Amino acid sequence: MTSLSAGLTDETRKNLFGDADLNMLWSCVGDPRVCYWVHVPTSYNEDSETYGLMVIVHGTGCATENYVREARAWCDAHHVAILAPMFPSGIINHSDFNAYKLLNSDGIRYDHVLLDMVSEMKDRYARIDNQKFFLFGHSGGGQYVERFLLAHPEKLKAVSIGAPGRPTFIDPDTDYFWGTRNFREIFDKDLDLEKIREVPVQITVGEKDTKFIGESPYGTCRVERMKSLQKNFRDHGVRTVELEILPGLEHADGDDVRVHTAQHFFERYL
């Protein structure tokens, strides 16, 4: 069967498909059960300067379009591409929608899947720097981001952790996921505190994100738990850990405010 792209000149291809290859949902070669959105600034070409990379991780409902849409203008202005993974629910356990947040669940290493995607970005868009990237996520995405920081700090320029209800604390006396006592068992590597300390961290939470989410030593709502997380990071020597309490926001509103707050933080580390 003939390909729809067969025999097309560059001009004809552009007129037919526009910049589709720069704004596309791609299947992950490393694990085709998972896919990812990309946005690459239209200024990008194979002769251009190196472009940075911002990864946006969705929350429980897998809704990432608003974040990508809101992030584009800043990314275009600063020559930063966007990668937004889509981790579908129910890959192994058909009733489960939390597996990706743990990074390692049901035999799937969701952190390795993201690293595969980042590597594929470099293969497809050669001018993108994939050595270190910015990482942002809210709610369930915030859980993913915070745990990815603990597992792969060497890959990160800076992170913005948005209001995870059940974060992991650096705690050698408590098992994963609340603590890190059995970290090596989960991730086949030791927790590297020295590298974690080097990554600039922003923690965000809505001012009104105060609904009861369960008893714990870290607080009973997300505002309290984010304060505990900031203290935990500071107690373990993380050099930059800033808490932004976002005025007027609850938990599920303010996508634009959240991603712009993250990008304002990232701008310091371009």
Q: What is the pLDDT of residues 218-241, one digit of tens each?
A: 999 999 999 999 999 999 999 999
Q: Of the candidates 80, 81, 70, which has an alpha carbon nearest to the alpha carbon of residue 37?
A: 81
The pLDDT of residue 218: 96
- In the prediction, which pLDDT does 18 show? 65
> Which pLDDT score, from 0 to 100, does residue 268 have?
98
- Residue 9: its pLDDT value, please? 80
Least confident of 6-15, 39-48, 85-94, 217-226: 6-15
For residues 53-78, average pLDDT: 95
Structure confidence at residue 16 (pLDDT): 65
User: CATH number of the domain at 10-269, please?
Assistant: 3.40.50.1820
Averaged pLDDT for residues 182-200: 98
Q: Give the separation between CA 155 and CA 115, rounded to whole angstroms.
A: 9
**Contact (Cβ atoms closer than 8 angstroms) between residue 219 and residue 176:** no
The C-alpha angle 248, 259, 46, rounded to 5 degrees, equals: 165
Average pLDDT value over all residues in the chain: 94
Cβ(26)–Cβ(17) below 8 Å:
no
pLDDT digits (tens, 9 = 90+) for 149-181: 999 999 999 999 999 999 999 999 999 999 999
- Predicted pLDDT of residue 250: 98
Q: What is the mean pLDDT of residues 131-143?
A: 98
Tell which wins on pLDDT, 90 or 146: 146
With 70 as the cut, is the pLDDT of residue 210 above it?
yes
Q: What residues have CB less than 8 Å from 190, skipping those under 6 apart?
A: 183, 184
Whole-angstrom distance, CA of residue 121 vs CA of residue 106: 26
Cα–Cα distance list, 231 to 182, 203, 224, 242 (Å): 22, 11, 11, 10
Is the per-residue pLDDT at 22 higher than 90? no
Other residues' Cβ atoms within 10 Å of the Cβ of residue 74: 18
Q: Where are the domains of the chain?
A: 10-269
Question: Which pLDDT score, from 0 to 100, does residue 1 have?
Answer: 59
Contacting residues for 89 by C-beta, under 8 A, at least 6 apart: 62, 96, 97, 99
Q: Which residue has the tokens 């059940």?
A: 166
CA atoms within 13 A on the CB side of 212: 2
pTM (2 d.p.): 0.94
Strand partners, 37: 25, 84
Name the β-bridge partners of 138: 162
Residue range 110-128: mean pLDDT, rounded = 96
Percentage, residues of the chain above pLDDT 70:
98
Pick from 21-25, 65-69, 204-208 the range whose average pLDDT is largest.
Answer: 204-208
